[in-house]
Amino acid sequence: MADQVKVAARSRRGTFVPRATVMDADDVRRALVRIAHEILERNHGSGSLVVVGLQTGGVPLAEHLVALLADIDGADVPLGVLDVAFYRDDIGLRPVLAEEVTRIPVELSGRVVVLVDDVLFTGRTVRAALDALADHGRARSVQLAVMVDRGHRELPIRPDYVGKNLPTRRDEVVEVGAAGVRIGEVVALPGPEGAR
């Protein structure tokens, strides 16, 4: 939770001030259980699956999802972590730094990759993620699971599994954490140190 706030705050140069909770922790868990079932149903089991969480918000959700898949299907689905910093299309336009080292534990060729992220917004992160995945092999297919789809897409990208569709204004901020999903605003702090 604290991490999430920090990340949100750093990337937006301000402090996140929540206005309303739209999903509580139980809602998030129930949505994940549903998504796990949908993934198994759609792929006829977990045989060739790899779950890849996007740094940083998608990683805890991906971990949770892998645990649920194991509970439901008894399968040991490999879990990967993907940092898309080096594939972003806004390098040079705003500060970009890597969050964590990418870890893809298996060769992706022939596998079905389920990309997991917390919030789907413009689609640019997912676009970068698709490029990043391609450097790890030629997956049979790539599917996208997100906890919140908040709209405002700038690229032709569509999720396969959605926890909740949440209409938002562009300037609002959606935060997914251990406490659930909250919506609010980022308040800028005075001075450059506000970003820290």
Q: Which residues bind another protein (CB under 8 A)?
A: 83, 85-88, 91-92, 94-98, 100-103, 131-132, 135-136, 192, 195
Please identify, using beta-carbon distances, which residue of 47 and 95 lies nearer to another protein. Answer: 95
Cα separation, 37 vs 16, whole angstroms: 33
Q: In the complex with another protein, which residue's Cβ is closer, 156 or 192?
A: 192
Closer residue to another protein, CB minimum distance, 92 or 167: 92
CB of 78: closest distance to another protein in angstroms? Answer: 16
| Strands 79-82 and 49-54, sheet pairing | parallel
| Tokens standing for residue 77 | 């689905």
Between helix 58-73 and helix 25-42 the angle, nearest 10°, is 60
Is the separation of the CB atoms in 133 and 102 below 8 Å?
no
Identity of the residue, 2 or 97, whose beta carbon is nearer to another protein in the bound complex: 97
Yes or no: say if 106 and 133 are a contact pair by the CB < 8 Å rule: no
In the complex, what is the shortest distance from the CB of residue 140 to another protein, in angstroms, rounded to a whole number? Answer: 18
